[in-house]
Amino acid sequence: MGKNSNKTFWPYGITIAILAVVVMGAGTIMIALKHPVQMDEAYMKKYQSVDNHYNEIQKSQKLFDQKYSVSIKNDHFNMGENTLVVMVMDKATNKVAENLKINVKITRPDDDRLDIKLQSTSKDQNGYIFPKFEINNKGRWIVLLSISDGKYDGFFKKEVDVN
């Protein structure tokens, strides 16, 4: 009889499978590094802080909602210069609330590189007025509000379109 022709190729298959897993893992890491996840800052705080204090945030939000009503006067923004007016009414007096600290972040849902942060400059009977800001990208934007009266904190989110 001749030579034994039964060769086994399973060691090659296992080696190829291991190399394929390593290459696919490296590819996944490379793609993840090129496309980082944008952090959701609906409460204008880091995720870990929100996670650790979520119950206190919700309790403060509920008490804030009982005391104040909040509305944003702008339904949309335009390309170029824009203004923002936020109306915070005290439910007890039915007047614009006094002595509030309001922080505003205007952001894109998919990109935080274009974020615009504002702080109120004045207040009148129409609400809290923010400095003019410029938007140079069309599409969907999100206005995030963090409002504090020193005792309670409220957080609000409104989506606006830019034409």
The ranges assigned to domains in the chain are: 47-162
- Percent of the chain exceeding pLDDT 90 equals 45
Question: Is the pLDDT at 133 greater than 60, yes or no?
Answer: yes
Q: Which one, of 142, 155, 52, lies nearest residue 103 by Cα?
A: 155
- Percent of the chain exceeding pLDDT 70 equals 93
Q: Where are the alpha helices (DSSP H) in 2-155?
A: 10-34, 47-52, 54-67
Given pLDDT bands bounded at 50, 70 and 90, which one contains residue 91?
very high
Widest pairwise Cα distance in the chain: 106
User: Cα–Cα distance between 162 and 153 in angstroms, integer?
Assistant: 29
* The most confident of 20-34, 71-85, 104-118, by mean pLDDT: 20-34
Given pLDDT bands bounded at 50, 70 and 90, which one contains residue 38?
low
**According to the model, what pLDDT value does residue 36 have?**
67
User: Cα–Cα distance between 109 and 140 in angstroms, integer?
Assistant: 7
Given pLDDT bands bounded at 50, 70 and 90, which one contains residue 9?
confident
User: Cα–Cα distance between 54 and 59 in angstroms, integer?
Assistant: 9
Question: Is the pLDDT at 112 greater than 90, yes or no?
Answer: no
Q: Which one, of 129, 155, 131, lies nearest residue 68 by Cα?
A: 155
Name residue, tokens 């504002």.
118
**According to the model, what pLDDT value does residue 89 have?**
92
Residues 12 and 20: beta-carbon distance below 8 Å: no
Q: Which two tokens stand for residue 59?
A: 């309790």
State residue 67 phi and psi, 5-degree precision: -95, -35
User: Nearest-5° angle of CA 60, CA 66, CA 67?
Assistant: 90
CA 162 to chain centroid: 18
Q: Answer yes or no: pTM beyond 0.95.
A: no
More confident residue, 35 or 20: 20
Question: Is the pLDDT at 155 greater than 60, yes or no?
Answer: yes
**According to the model, what pLDDT value does residue 48 have?**
80
Between 3.20.20.30, 3.40.50.300, 2.60.40.10, 3.90.1150.10, what CATH number should domain 47-162 receive?
2.60.40.10
**According to the model, what pLDDT value does residue 30 have?**
93
Provide the mean pLDDT of the chain. Answer: 87
